[in-house]
Amino acid sequence: MKTYRLAAIPGDGIGGEVVAASLEVLHAIAARVAGFRFEVDIFDWGGLYYKKHGLMMPENGRDLIRHHDAILFGSAGHPDIPDHVTLWGLRLAICQPFDQYANVRPTRVLPGVTSPLRDALGLDWVIVRENSEGEYAGVGGRVHRGSPLEAATDVAMFTRQGVLRIMRFAFDLARSRPRRQLTVVTKSNAQRHAMVMWDEIAAEVAREFPEVVWDKMLVDAMTARMVMHPSTLDTIVATNLHADILSDLAAALTGSLGIAPTANLNPERAFPSMFEPIHGSAFDIAGKGIANPIGTFWSGVLLLEHLGEKAAAHRLMTAIERVMADRRWHTPDLGGTARTADVTAAVIDAIHGAN
Ligand code: ATP
Ligand code: MG
């Protein structure tokens, strides 16, 4: 039987709860859809690890997970540790060296879930976020700390190769979806260097994909369009910062931050890809057993798709939809009273066709 090696990094807060639930679900789907199994290694990296060792993950951490088939990540962050330390010390310390440059975020309103939009009919998007450079390239500096002359820069750095590869990825993904439609988001009216290059490269790549209908939007206008005319959008590509913001908006429009999944892909498969819910460690509800695990389950669907296990991915997505359609299984963030364990059991039952 085929065995996939999975590296699980639960992290902090509710990360541990939703990753444990997802591992149960992934083992259940593997048992139901014959032909493969998961072998899981769990790594206790994150905020608590930092408090003991002064690092978010060990120096050789990446070597320990480099040969796994995929990474399942929960959330890292701790109220006592600055966010930029946890982000750069773990998530970005994996994403960047593993060249997971395509961050993919499917966005749909699941049956049974209420969107804050009056009319969310037809909201079915995939947001592609450039995940390796741009505004989060880490370029910049700070001088004259504490003096009146103090100054700081964060330079948004875009390379032609970096923009080309994310644009090709996005056009290719758009072509694989029924509507074959892509919206390229920039701020090229105000940012006249990199964003203009982004627009030019989009036009170049568009010629390689004549089947794809595409348009351009400025990011500010895009937020309004997402809210006012959601059904006019399909695949969306944007820079690291812009897509970060747009995808939180998108997640909120689907009913809860707890539902939204994401994949950090290295499309060339030179390194493992990483799958995680978009929410953070949510310490306000940690340890209470009420975190919504659906975002992490859905990330499991993306993980299965990435491994090429299409039948298993489809079966798990169907189980998630069936469970969400029944309000008994809604956690408090969705206005219900279900607990993480109830949702997990319901999804496992649905995998086995029991409900
Ligand atoms: P971090 O600092 O790690 O990003 P955070 O405290 O900013 O974490 P998020 O997880 O990003 O929190 O989410 C903000 C709020 O949304 C949380 O405080 C929590 O109440 C709610 N929330 C997020 N994820 C979930 C979930 N899976 N289930 C239920 N509620 C959630
Ligand atoms: Mg947060």
pLDDT of residue 355: 58
Tell me: pLDDT of 310 over 90: yes
The residue whose CA is least distant from atom 6 of ligand 1 is 282
> What's the average model confidence in pLDDT over 191-198?
94
Give me the amino acid identity at 267: P
pTM of the full structure: 0.94
DSSP string, 151-214: EEEEEEE--HHHHHHHHHHHHHHHHHSTT-EEEEEE-TTT--SHHHHHHHHHHHHHTT-TT-EE
CA of 13 to the centre of ligand 1 (A): 9
What spacing in Å lies between the alpha carbon of 284 and ligand 1's midpoint?
Answer: 8
pLDDT tens-digit map of 314-355 = 999 999 999 999 999 999 999 999 999 999 999 999 999 865
Tokens of 7: 């590296």
Probe ligand 1: pick from 73, 81, 285, max atoms within 8 Å of CB?
285
124-182 pLDDT, tens digit per residue, is 999 999 999 999 988 999 999 999 999 999 999 999 999 999 999 999 999 999 999 99
- Closest ligand 1 atom to Cα of 296: 27
Q: Two tokens at 150?
A: 């103090």
Dump pLDDT digits (tens) for 266-291. 999 999 999 999 999 999 999 999 99
3-state secondary structure of 147: coil
Atom of ligand 1 nearest to the CA of 18: 27
Q: Is 132 helix (H, G, I), strand (E, B) or coil?
A: coil
Q: How far is the CA of 116 from the centre of ligand 2 (A)?
A: 20
- Nearest Cα to Cα of residue 9 among 41, 38, 37: 41
CA of 73 to the centre of ligand 2 (A): 15
Please tell me whether the interface predicted TM-score (ipTM) of this complex is above 0.85.
yes
In sequence order, which ranges of 209-326 are alpha helices (DSSP H)?
219-228, 240-253, 294-307, 310-324
